[in-house]
């Protein structure tokens, strides 16, 4: 069984997105996307602390400034080696387990986070579980022991960049919240950002993924967001 010694949510963030540079600080209503993510993650009852892990670059300093304003602690580490950044952040803040969140998921659901942590507690191996669909509600919970082992043993660039693939090779427990078809709710493009802004405009600040489904069923303009993403 997974033990909740100090569940810390670590949000990875950077300004250097290839498709939509600076997206993490783009506005959704009167707040930035990263602030929306932080506030939603903070509402998860089983998360003790929220930390932002970002690259150690001058270009990313606005993220540090936002964290200071919100009184959220942050860690600056490698940009390409995100696995090492996560490991060092987890070690600094004594996180165990680590709740991995990405900053391009402003629809992340605190209820899903709590459910995923509960699933981690109940899993026999107690090392790693994930809620992976729809794309945009992504949550992964991993023990510090497994993250440390991955940080020391993973050698492939893909494993270093994406944090969890090396661990997934050993622990394949998942907690899907709906069908395995990938529905795209994360923010990669300007169109994705427009969609998320629309959701916030219609639903306000406090909503769950079930509310988004209800909204999309009513709004034909966004009907494509109920369907698997192209190429999935």
pTM, whole model, 2 decimals? 0.91
Q: Which residue has the higher pLDDT, 128 or 142?
A: 142
Asked whether residue 81 is domain-assigned, the answer is: yes
Token pair recorded at residue 45: 């009852």
Average pLDDT over residues 39-61: 97
Helices 190-203 and 209-218 pack at an angle, to 10 degrees, of: 100
Q: Hey, which residues does 129 pair with through a beta bridge?
A: 141
| pLDDT recorded at residue 180 | 44
Q: pLDDT by residue (tens digit) across 78-122?
A: 999 999 999 999 999 999 999 999 999 999 999 999 999 999 998
User: What pLDDT band is residue 154 in, cutting at 50, 70 and 90?
Assistant: very high
8-17, 31-40, 67-76, 131-140: segment of lowest average pLDDT: 131-140
Q: What is the mean pLDDT of the chain?
A: 89
* Residue 175: pLDDT over 70: no
Query: Residue 172: phi, psi to the nearest 5?
Result: -110, 30
Token pair recorded at residue 190: 């300007």
* Residue 142: pLDDT over 80: yes
* Residue 224: pLDDT over 80: no
Query: Residue 108: phi, psi to the nearest 5?
Result: -50, 140
Number of domains in the chain: 1
6-20, 59-73, 161-175, 191-205: segment of lowest average pLDDT: 161-175
User: What is the DSSP secondary-structure string of 2-41?
Assistant: ---SB-EEEEE--S--SSSTTGGGSEETTEEHHHHHHHHH
Nearest to 75 by CA among 59, 86, 66, 62: 86
User: What pLDDT band is residue 230 in, cutting at 50, 70 and 90?
Assistant: very low
Distances (CA, A) of 104 to 1, 93, 112, 217: 30, 23, 16, 23
Nearest to 183 by CA among 224, 125, 122, 222: 224
CATH assignment of the domain containing 84: 3.90.550.10
Asked whether residue 189 is domain-assigned, the answer is: no
* Residue 171: pLDDT over 70: no
25-39, 54-68, 155-169, 185-199: segment of lowest average pLDDT: 155-169
Percent residues over pLDDT 90 in the chain? 73
| pLDDT recorded at residue 168 | 80
| pLDDT recorded at residue 124 | 57
Range of the domain at 105: 8-168
Are β-strands 31-32 and 27-28 bridged in parallel, bridged antiparallel, or unpaired? antiparallel
**CA 117 – CA 209 distance, rounded (Å):** 17
| pLDDT recorded at residue 174 | 46
Asked whether residue 206 is domain-assigned, the answer is: no
* Residue 179: pLDDT over 60: no
User: What pLDDT band is residue 217 in, cutting at 50, 70 and 90?
Assistant: confident
């Amino acid at each position: 069984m997974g033990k909740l010694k100090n569940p810390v949510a670590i949000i990875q963030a950077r300004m250097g997105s290839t498709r939509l540079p600076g997206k993490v600080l783009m506005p959704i209503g009167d707040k930035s996307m990263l602030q929306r993510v932080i506030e939603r993650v903070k509402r998860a009852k089983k998360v003790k602390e929220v930390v932002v892990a970002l690259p150690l670059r001058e270009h990313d300093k606005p993220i540090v400034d936002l964290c200071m304003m919100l009184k959220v602690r942050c860690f600056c580490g490698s940009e390409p080696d995100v696995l090492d950044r996560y490991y060092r952040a987890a070690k600094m803040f004594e996180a165990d387990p680590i709740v991995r969140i990405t900053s391009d998921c402003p629809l992340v659901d605190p209820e899903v986070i709590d459910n995923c942590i509960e699933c981690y507690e109940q899993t026999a191996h107690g090392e790693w579980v994930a809620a992976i669909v729809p794309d945009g509600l992504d949550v992964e919970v991993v023990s510090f022991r497994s993250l440390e082992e991955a940080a020391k043993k993973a050698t492939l660039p893909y494993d270093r960049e994406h944090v969890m693939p090396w661990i997934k090779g050993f622990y394949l427990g998942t907690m899907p919240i709906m069908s395995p078809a990938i529905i795209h709710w994360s923010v990669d493009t300007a169109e994705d950002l427009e969609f998320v802004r629309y959701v916030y405009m219609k639903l306000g600040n406090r909503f769950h993924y079930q509310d988004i489904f209800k909204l999309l069923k009513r709004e034909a303009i966004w009907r494509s967001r109920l369907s698997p993403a192209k190429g999935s």
